[in-house]
């Protein structure tokens, strides 16, 4: 392929284009037409197959969550840490989404939002799949933080994306990501799911999938001796299916009960069965640790007006006191002190998943990267200082506030005040009650001379689909349509040069 040509040989007219926007994430994928205010399809980023060699993929949501008529089905992720790990399934999935909306790829271009930590090879593969595999007439890849900044109308901002697998903090200047300044951690939504799973195990509760239940009676959990009353269906499925269904239940549990509180305002629950739940307790009244109280809660704790119950598929209702709910949410800020104790949570043993330097874990240092964007206002730091800042380890287990503060500290003094005044929260896990308030309070205490402002959309769909919404705005702009990459340009210029020079 020749690398002499860099200009697109084909210019698309804005008035005739109805582009489609694809926003794949670790838990769900969003798809719809540009210009709409929310995606038309939201579907799990998972696929079902009967074996490793099976190409008859299952993407139907009702089948994935209730696969009783396919007992040999196995469910696997399409993406992990926001990066595609199975391209065959990804192509089949995206093709199915296009057919559901009657998209005509030869007439409608595709805008693809991608992780700012995506690998060079994955970016090339995405270009190939869109133009050759799916046959789209045009393609463009935009980083998700850039899309979020456009959705909020703030081209200069700090994007804090709290998703399923990852939390990433990305400075966006003039609409472009400062890639070397990105920091992140795997202490995100799935981390809380794992803590909730640990709470169930501590309480001696065995998870039962909905399709295993024939009938049930509601029973409130009181102690480890409490047994659910239900009748079992004689159905057995693969462990991957059970884990997938359990993840959905844990996600619902997280969205229902988890909340944050300010540092020093953790609720103090009565721990004695002889204590009235309305009496104010002090720290001196505690005889058991939070972990021990999970297994032996007092009657006062269970009967308190602030205690919430979550019903499992087999009818067993699990109590969560206000303190327990706050400890679960606060784990995003203090991951080394969780409701399960001080030990490292299983699955997060790798320090690179916890120390804020997720870039070194996900991005190959030998990957070809686009040249870092340097704002005109910026003159204090050189490229070597940028590289050193990106490799800096924040701590053994990095909390959300530490992560954001570390990125602010790594920025030029000219950019820092503007970034601090334009912090944007996005991602489903950012919807946890009081999370944005605590982040704003702690950052204000750490930066008394700066005006800290955390912007969090009040509409839950805007928070969940911030990247898709921004992509929808971009792809519907008349001035954007000269940027589409056609298959002819892909063949003439080559994917390597396009990825480096065009998709910044």
Q: How far apart are CA 409 and CA 240, in angstroms?
A: 42
* 40 and 111, same domain (yes or no): yes
pLDDT at 365: 74
pLDDT at 25: 97
CB of 166 closer than 8 Å to CB of 186: yes
* 421 and 386, same domain (yes or no): yes
CB of 435 closer than 8 Å to CB of 401: no
- Per-residue pLDDT of 407-436, as tens digits, reads 999 999 999 999 999 999 999 999 999 999
Phi, psi of 364 (to 5 degrees): -70, 125
Q: Residue 342 falls within a domain, yes or no?
A: no
Domain boundary residue, one of 265, 298, 330: 330
CB of 25 closer than 8 Å to CB of 118: no
Between 447 and 388, whose confidence is greater?
Answer: 447
pLDDT at 274: 43
Q: How far apart are CA 56 and CA 73, in angstroms?
A: 11
Least confident of 95-109, 142-156, 424-438, 489-503: 489-503
pLDDT at 271: 56
Mean pLDDT over the full length of the chain: 88
* 432 and 447, same domain (yes or no): yes
The residue-averaged pLDDT of 352-357 equals: 91
> Could you give the number of structural domains in the chain?
3
Q: Residue 443 falls within a domain, yes or no?
A: yes
Domain boundary residue, one of 330, 347, 373: 330
Phi, psi of 258 (to 5 degrees): -75, 140
pLDDT at 487: 95
Report whether pLDDT(273) > 60: no
Could you tell me which residues come within 8 angstroms of residue 387 by beta carbon, excluding any fewer than 6 positions away? 180
* 194 and 295, same domain (yes or no): yes
- Per-residue pLDDT of 374-409, as tens digits, reads 665 554 455 455 445 445 556 678 999 999 999 999
- Per-residue pLDDT of 110-122, as tens digits, reads 999 999 999 999 9
CB of 216 closer than 8 Å to CB of 315: yes
**Two tokens at 79?**
């993406």
| Residue ranges making up the domain that contains 399 | 155-187+381-456
CB of 331 closer than 8 Å to CB of 191: yes
CB of 388 closer than 8 Å to CB of 220: no
Domain boundary residue, one of 440, 456, 472: 456
CB of 145 closer than 8 Å to CB of 184: no
* 100 and 167, same domain (yes or no): no
* 249 and 298, same domain (yes or no): yes
Question: Pairing between strand 139-143 and 110-114?
Answer: parallel
* 304 and 429, same domain (yes or no): no
Report whether pLDDT(499) > 50: yes
Report whether pLDDT(204) > 60: yes
Residue with tokens 């102690």, as numbered in its chain: 223
Q: pTM value?
A: 0.90
Q: How far apart are CA 127 and CA 499, in angstroms?
A: 8
* 203 and 253, same domain (yes or no): yes
Residue with tokens 């909390």, as numbered in its chain: 399
Q: Residue 425 falls within a domain, yes or no?
A: yes
Here the CATH number for the domain that contains residue 270 is: 3.90.640.10
Confidence of residue 454 (pLDDT cuts 50, 70, 90): very high
Q: Residue 340 falls within a domain, yes or no?
A: no
Q: Residue 3 falls within a domain, yes or no?
A: no
Q: How far apart are CA 262 and CA 265, in angstroms?
A: 5
Between 424 and 301, whose confidence is greater?
Answer: 424
Q: How far apart are CA 24 and CA 47, in angstroms?
A: 13
Q: Residue 350 falls within a domain, yes or no?
A: no
pLDDT at 427: 97
- Per-residue pLDDT of 151-193, as tens digits, reads 999 999 999 999 999 999 999 999 999 999 999 999 999 999 9
Q: How many CB atoms lie within 10 A of CB 251?
A: 19
* 194 and 325, same domain (yes or no): yes
Report whether pLDDT(276) > 50: no
CB of 312 closer than 8 Å to CB of 249: yes
* 205 and 231, same domain (yes or no): yes
CB of 185 closer than 8 Å to CB of 354: yes
Here the CATH number for the domain that contains residue 413 is: 3.30.420.40
Q: Residue 495 falls within a domain, yes or no?
A: yes
Burial pattern 139-169, b for ≥16 Cβ within 10 A else e, equals bbbbbbbbbbbbbbebebbbbbbbbbbbbbb
Report whether pLDDT(56) > 50: yes
Q: Residue 249 falls within a domain, yes or no?
A: yes
CB of 91 closer than 8 Å to CB of 127: no
CB of 373 closer than 8 Å to CB of 176: yes
* 445 and 401, same domain (yes or no): yes
Confidence of residue 268 (pLDDT cuts 50, 70, 90): confident
* 204 and 159, same domain (yes or no): no
User: Which of 281, 260, 312 lies closest to 440, judged by CA?
Assistant: 260
pLDDT at 70: 83
């Amino acid at each position: 392929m020749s690398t002499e040509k860099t200009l697109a040989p084909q210019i698309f007219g804005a008035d005739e284009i109805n582009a489609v926007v694809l926003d794949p994430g670790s838990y769900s994928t969003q798809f719809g037409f540009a210009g709409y205010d929310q995606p038309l399809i939201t579907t799990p980023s998972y696929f079902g197959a009967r074996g490793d060699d099976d190409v008859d993929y299952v993407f139907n949501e009702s089948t994935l969550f209730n696969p009783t008529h396919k007992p040999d089905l196995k469910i696997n992720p399409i993406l992990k840490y926001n990066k595609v790990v199975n391209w065959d399934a990804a192509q089949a999935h995206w093709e199915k989404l296009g057919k559901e909306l009657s998209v005509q790829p030869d007439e409608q271009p595709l805008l693809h939002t991608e992780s700012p930590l995506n690998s060079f090879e994955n970016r090339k593969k995405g270009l190939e799949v869109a133009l050759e595999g799916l046959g789209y007439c045009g393609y463009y890849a935009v980083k998700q933080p850039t899309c979020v900044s456009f959705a909020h109308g703030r081209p200069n901002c700090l994007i804090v994306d709290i998703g399923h697998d990852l939390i990433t903090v990305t400075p966006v200047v003039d609409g472009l990501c400062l890639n070397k300044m990105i920091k992140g951690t795997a202490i995100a939504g799935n981390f809380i799911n794992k803590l909730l799973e640990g709470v169930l195990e501590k309480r001696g509760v065995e998870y039962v999938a909905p399709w295993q239940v024939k009938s049930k009676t509601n029973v409130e959990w009181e102690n480890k001796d409490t047994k659910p009353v239900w009748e079992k269906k004689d159905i057995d499925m693969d462990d991957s299916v059970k884990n997938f269904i359990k993840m959905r239940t844990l996600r619902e549990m997280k969205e229902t009960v988890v909340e944050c509180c300010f540092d020093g305002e953790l609720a103090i629950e009565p721990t004695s069965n002889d204590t009235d739940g309305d009496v104010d307790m002090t720290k001196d009244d505690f005889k058991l640790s939070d972990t021990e109280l999970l297994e032996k809660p007092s009657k006062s704790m269970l009967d308190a007006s602030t205690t919430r119950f979550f019903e499992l598929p087999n009818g067993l209702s699990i109590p969560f006191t206000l303190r327990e709910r706050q400890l679960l949410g606060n784990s995003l800020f203090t991951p080394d002190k969780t409701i399960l104790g001080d030990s490292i949570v299983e699955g997060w043993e790798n320090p690179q998943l916890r120390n804020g330097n997720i870039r070194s874990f996900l991005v190959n240092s030998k990957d070809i990267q686009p040249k870092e964007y340097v704002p005109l206002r910026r003159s204090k730091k050189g490229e070597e200082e940028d590289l050193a800042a990106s490799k800096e380890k924040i701590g053994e287990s990095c909390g959300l506030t530490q992560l954001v503060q570390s990125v602010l500290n790594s920025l030029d003094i000219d950019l820092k005040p503007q970034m601090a005044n334009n912090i944007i929260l996005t991602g489903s896990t950012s919807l946890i009650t009081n999370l944005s308030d605590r982040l704003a309070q702690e950052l204000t205490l750490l930066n008394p001379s700066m005006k800290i402002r955390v912007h969090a959309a009040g509409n839950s769909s805007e928070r969940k689909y911030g990247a898709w919404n921004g992509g929808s705005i971009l792809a519907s702009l008349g001035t954007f349509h000269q940027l589409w990459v056609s298959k002819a340009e892909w063949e003439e210029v080559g994917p390597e040069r396009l990825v480096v020079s065009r998709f910044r």
